[in-house]
Structure 1
Amino acid sequence: MTVPIPGPPRPTDPRGPDPRAAVAAAMAGLDALAERPLAEHVDAYERVHTALGDALAAGSA
């Protein structure tokens, strides 16, 4: 019996893209948020929230 080795999926992985990459990209959207106008913060958090929800849904499929 073979045991799968954990790690990022390979590009040919039938499960699709790695949701961890989407999480990292979403979190990068918060970089330098402190230097941006306060009015832009809500939009930035909403984009991250949506991206994280999408990654969570993709990971549970």
Structure 2
Amino acid sequence: MKRDHHTTEDLHRLLKRGYSADDLRHLQAPADMVERALAQYQEQARQRQHDRNLHNQATYAMRLQSR
């Protein structure tokens, strides 16, 4: 279990460094682990985008209010 966690983190690091999903799929790693890591990474990216959007909306609203 702990080994899987470290492997997943390593896969996330590769994605952050610019490797593509196809690059990861060609590694010598269990396919289910790679797919799980990809799904987690994509979900985290969606969440970061959502958080950025909320932050930008709040900043815009605060600027309107201060006028």
TM-score, length-scaled by structure 1: 0.43
Which structure has the higher relative contact order (CA within 8 Å, separation 6+)? 1
TM-score normalised by length of structure 2 = 0.40
From the two aligned structures, give the one with the greater helix fraction. Answer: 2
